[in-house]
Every structure is written in structure tokens, then in C-alpha cells.
Structure 1
Amino acid sequence: MGDARFRWFADVMELRGTDRVLEIGPGSSPSLALLAERVTHGRVVGVDRSATAIARAAQRLGAGRGASTDHAEPSADNPAEAGGRAPTDHAAPSVDEPCAPAAQVNSDRIGLFHADLARLRPEQLLDTFGVDGFDKILAVNVNVFWTKRPTAELAVIEKLLVSGGGLYLCYGYGGPDGASTSPKPPPGRLDEYLTEAGFTVRTRASGDLLCVHAARD
């Protein structure tokens, strides 16, 4: 993987070749393609509330013939774009341009889905990509999980995770070495909300990177 951050995230997630991975709010960053380098025989799907980010990601991935796109109901746009750019509140309301029609590029490895996480219908996402659940769900620099009690978001995630699956909430813009300078959630805030929702929480940190792993008992 070409990005030191995502190499570290992938190591913490213990990605396997057959994993089914969902990234929340990838924006138009290269994260999906980087994750797919580890998930060689599985599935990588990105769900984003920004139609603009979905279109840019489809263009980026389409050049490599590696993605399919689909969309749900129109949802709010995030001008900062999630997943490695500015921290985002994935559920904050704003105005979005209409979502472009779904365009199949190549559905074998990487998929894209336009929806707001809190209003996402899990069965629609799972049916679209032909999976019964995801082994691992990743969100990078998505603030909604600590700026409020993410009750609706965690309820959706619970329905998307397979038994024994894990949610990975990661923060940071630098690398796994050096000083921690990026803004991150207050200590204990994520733990509190995740524990209240019934998850067991483990935290890993290295350099400028933080990853909170939430799993069901």
C-alpha cells in the first residue's frame, strides 16, 4: 500500500485477502484502491454521502477498471470530503447536487454507494453488492462518531457487520512515526459511546495515528 497511514490501518485491521470491507466516507481519496491491494479475493465498498466524492472516486477507480457505483436516495454533500481530508460529520445536513445515475464499471473488486450512513438501509447496500455482511468497517477522520451520540449510525453498522466483525474508527493525517499533531477525539469519548452501544473497545495509537477497534462480544 502506497500510503503509510493506510498501511498502518490495514495492519491494525489485520486485513485478509478474502475480507469484505466497507469504508464509510472515503471521499475521493485513494483509500479504496489501497485497501483492495490487501483484499485480493474479497470485496471493498465505499459509502459516501457526497455525490461529488462518489463521482470523483468512480472516475479515479474507473481508470483502473476496478469499481462499480450505485446510489440510494439523494443525501447531503460534504464539501470537505471524508476519509483522509478534513474531519467530517457524516450526518450533518447540507445541500447536495443530484446523484449521477449508477454506472457499472467493474463490480468484481471495488464498489461505491451514495447514501448518508444514518439513513442507509442495510439490506439495500448488502443486496447491491451481493454480500451478507462485512467483516470489517473502516471510517477515517469521520467525526460523527464522537461529536454526538451516534445511535442511528451504530445501529446501521451493527446490521452491516457479520458475527465476529469489527468497526475501526481511525484518526490522523500523518504517519505512524513521529509526533501526534492531528486533531483527534477527546480521550474516552469514543469508548463511552461505543461501550454504551454494546461494543468491546480496544485502542491502538502510533505516531500521529489513532485507531479504535469496536467489536461485539
Structure 2
Amino acid sequence: MAGRVVPERVRFAAAVVDPGASARVLEIGCGPGAAAEVLCPRLTGGGRMLAVDRSTVAVARTTERNAVHVANGVLEVRPSTLAGLEVPGSSVDIAFTVNVNLFWTGDPGAELAVLRRALTPGGVLHVLYEGPPPAAVTAGLERHGWSVEPVAGDGGAGVTARPR
């Protein structure tokens, strides 16, 4: 990580996500790949991370920044919207987003349906922001059958959600 900036919001997200060594992690909206850079070294017991972004530029940046994690099979990076994401059912233990607006700018029903299928029983979604999340985040999650708990700390705030 020498010479590369890891924003405080990403450090906050990494602390909230806190994957175990064998966790299967999904990052929605990977941007330049800072979160993958912080989380992949923790996946030492067979864990894997899938990072997706609708921007091909973001996918390229994440892939380049994390070339060693891609090469060793810990990280897969692909272009995709969340609504269009295809993953096997019950293949994700932890999903998270940092500063992704899709959970409050419209109805997230299609995206939450994808996550509901993808998450393992007991799996969790963290929707995180630099500051307090808009009220629409909690409202949308609850409307689509998710239980929501607030989370906050240095560098960010958000919600942790589980399908009901």
C-alpha cells in the first residue's frame, strides 16, 4: 500500500466489514480498489473477494491496483451493475458498499433481490457512507424486508442490514 492513499471512509468500511480469513466478500462499487487492497490480505484461509463496478475505468483501476490479489486468486474484479450481477445463490457472506447512491436515489428492489439470493443464511450487507446515510437508505431496506442497524465510527456511518 506504500504510496497509495486509503481514504478514511475506506478504513472505516474495512473495520465494519472485518472479514474472517475464509469469508466470501462482495464489494459493490469498487471505485479505484482501495477497499480490496485493505481487505484481500485478510482473506488468508481460503476467503475470496468479488469487486464489481458499473464503470470499466473503475474495474481497470481496481485490477491494476490489486494485481497481486487477482493473480493469486483472492480477488475477482468485473464490470457489472448490482441489478445485473450474476453470482451463485448463497455465495456471499458479506456484501458492502461505500458511498454508493443506488440505495437512496430510487427503489433498490431489484438490487436487494440480487443480494438476498447471493447472501448465505446469516449473511450481511453493509451500506456505508462518509457521513450519516440518507433516511431513504433505511426506508428502502426495511420496505424490501431487511432488518437494519445503524453503524458509525471514525471516518463514516451507515447501516448493517440482514434479510428478514
Shorter-normalised TM-score: what interval? 0.7 to 0.9
Structure 1, residues 106-160: CA drift from partner, whole Å, max 9, x if none? 252111011111122334xx7xxxxx51100010000010111111111111111
The one-letter code matched in structure 2 to 1:204 is V
| Offset at residue 53 of structure 1 (A) | 1.2
Which residue of 1 is the match for residue 76 of structure 2? 111
Moved over 6 A (4+): none
CA shift for structure 1 position 34: 0.5
Q: What displacement does 1:38 show? A: 2.3
Q: How big is the shift at 1:192?
A: 1.2
User: Could you tell me which residue of structure 2 aligns to residue 150 of structure 1?
Assistant: 108
Number of aligned residue pairs: 159
Normalized per residue, the structure richer in strand is 2
Is 1:171 the counterpart of 2:129? The answer is yes
CA contact (8 A) 1:141 1:170 kept: yes
Instruction: Name 1:134's counterpart in structure 2.
Output: 92
- Matching of residues 21-60 of structure 1 within 5 Å: 21-41=25-45, 42-60=47-65
C-alpha distance 4-39 of structure 1, shift in aligned 2 (>3 A): farther
Identity score, percent = 35
In structure 1, stretches of 5+ residues that fail to align are: 68-105, 127-131, 173-181
| One-letter amino acid of the counterpart of residue 202, structure 1 | E
- Once the two structures are superposed, the pairs formed by residues 42-81 of structure 1 within 5 Å of their partners are 42-62=47-67, 65-67=68-70
TM-score when normalising by structure 2: 0.86
CA contact (8 A) 1:6 1:35 kept: no
> In 2, distance between residues paired with 1:55 and 1:6?
19
Distance 1:163 1:54, change over 3 A: same
For structure 2, the residue ranges without an aligned partner over 5 or more in a row are none
Match of 1:122 in 2: 87
What's the counterpart of residue 194 of structure 1? 141
Choose 1 or 2 for highest CA Rg.
1
> If each structure's helix is expressed as a fraction of its own residues, which one has the higher value?
2
Partners of 1:52 and 1:13 lie apart in 2 by: 25
Residues 10 and 61 of structure 1, relative CA distance in 2, 3 Å threshold:
closer
**Aligned partner of residue 122 in structure 1, secondary structure:** coil
User: Which residue number corresponds to residue 160 of structure 1?
Assistant: 118
| Kept in 2: contact 1:122–1:160 (CA 8 A) | yes
Q: Distance in 2 between matches of 1:15 and 1:4?
A: 18
Q: Residue 133 of structure 2 aligns to which amino acid in structure 1? A: P
